[in-house]
Amino acid sequence: MSDLSTQLIHHPYTPPAGFATVQPAVHKASTILFPNVAALRSRDWKHKTGYTYGLHGTPTTFTLEERIATLEGGRFCTLVPSGLAAVVLVDMALLKAGDEVLIPDNAYGPNKAFAQAELASWGIGCQLYDAMNPADLAAKLNVKTRLVWLEAPGSITLEFPDLPALAAAVSAHNESSAQAHRLGTVTAIDNTWGAGLAFNAFALGADISVQALTKYPSGGADVLMGSVVTRREDLYHLMHFCHMRVGYGVSGNDAELVLRGLGSMALRYAAQDTAARQLAAWLLDQPQIETVLHPALPNSPGHAEWTRDCNGAACLFSAVFKPEFSPMQIDRFCDSLRLFRLGYSWAGPMSLCVPYDMPALRVAKPWPYQGGLVRFSVGLEAVADLQADIAQALESL
């Protein structure tokens, strides 16, 4: 070992013993070294009994997986590079050509888009169902249905479904179709809104829960990551093996940012919940507004189910404007906001808003309102400032 270039690589450094810290260390690796050929040959890729290759996990990502599983009341967690990748992993792990997936009409748009483009081209069918009508789901379940997506509340429009009733429709279908398939029809929920805090997805009947860790667990608007959690070992193995085959690794630095965010997550969730409810209730009384959609508002669809099943709400509400305001005026309203900035995603420190063209986004049931819709995501600014911001933009109408 005479050459400096060799010494730089085979350095004798070991980290200090007795260095106890609050936050876990960031471990980063593609290569993980084996002590000898026997150890390399007997490596176990499939169970988290050791480390084999960076793509399969590091002490940092295993720690985050354990915490997310604990947060959600699940047993097993698989991390993926985004919330959308979590949805896609569940689809790819469970669905084969000839199968069918059922997705709520009000689900996160890219979930539907993946089914209608990639899954369709792989010979996998998709039906959209009305999540507010469990009978509609029951009627659409059939021998090909392998996977039913749930989402609570609906994306953008925030209707809170009767999750136990939807899960019961799938259970009844599984009992009547008498082991047509080894796994039965599986339910997976997009649990980004609840974040493991507002309700326990498994207690309400989900087999799999996915989250965009991009939102609350990170909280910083600076990380993309997703998680797939389950209590069922058979489903976990399917997710985990598919995860290895598709190469969905996450970076140690990103995992560290999420681990850092987790400590303040419950406080942020509660503060943003309180602020969003105050603003939603105030906005409902403004003369330009037809209605405000937020499950804690008694007029909002699924308020009773939300009251029964949840002990909190995320930072989102949507305002439907009176029909006399043109789409151009609503765009101007959004452009007039100074604190609510235009941008996708939510649950970060900065308040955001996006106008949506709702009629174009609904298939199973027509959208009931004429006026335009703006979705607000409330950040961590002072509520009085945010209210004043919306008030001055309403005046511009």
In this complex, which beta carbon is closest to ligand PLP, that of residue 55 or of residue 224?
224
Binding mask 29-68 for ligand PLP (x = CB under 6 A): ----------------------------------------
Q: Indicate whether 82 belongs to the interface with ligand PLP (CB under 6 A).
A: yes
Q: Among candidates 99, 126, 98, which has minimal Cα distance to 114? A: 126
In this complex, which beta carbon is closest to ligand PLP, that of residue 212 or of residue 313?
212
Q: Indicate whether 72 belongs to the interface with ligand PLP (CB under 6 A).
A: no
Distance CA 243, CA 92 (A): 9
Contact 124, 101 (CB under 8 A): yes
Q: Among candidates 163, 176, 109, which has minimal Cα distance to 137? A: 163
**Both tokens assigned to 165:** 């009733």
In this complex, which beta carbon is closest to ligand PLP, that of residue 88 or of residue 289?
88
**Both tokens assigned to 321:** 């404007």
Query: Least separation, in Å, of the C-beta of 155 and ligand PLP?
Result: 5
In this complex, which beta carbon is closest to ligand PLP, that of residue 84 or of residue 259?
84
Q: Indicate whether 83 belongs to the interface with ligand PLP (CB under 6 A).
A: yes
In this complex, which beta carbon is closest to ligand PLP, that of residue 189 or of residue 390?
189
- Tell me which residue has its CB nearest to ligand PLP: 83
Distance CA 156, CA 114 (A): 18
In this complex, which beta carbon is closest to ligand PLP, that of residue 226 or of residue 261?
226
Nearest 5°: the CA angle 253, 255, 257 is 70
Distance CA 93, CA 243 (A): 8
Q: Which helix (H) or strand (E) holds 110?
A: helix 109-114
Distance CA 319, CA 374 (A): 5
Tokens 């507010």 sit at which residue? 132
Binding mask 124-163 for ligand PLP (x = CB under 6 A): -------------------------------x--------
Q: Among candidates 152, 114, 121, 88, which has minimal Cα distance to 313? A: 152
Query: Least separation, in Å, of the C-beta of 346 and ligand PLP?
Result: 7
Binding mask 192-221 for ligand PLP (x = CB under 6 A): x-------------------x-xx------
Given the rule CB under 6 A, which residues bind ligand PLP?
A: 82-84, 108, 155, 190, 192, 212, 214-215, 224, 226, 345
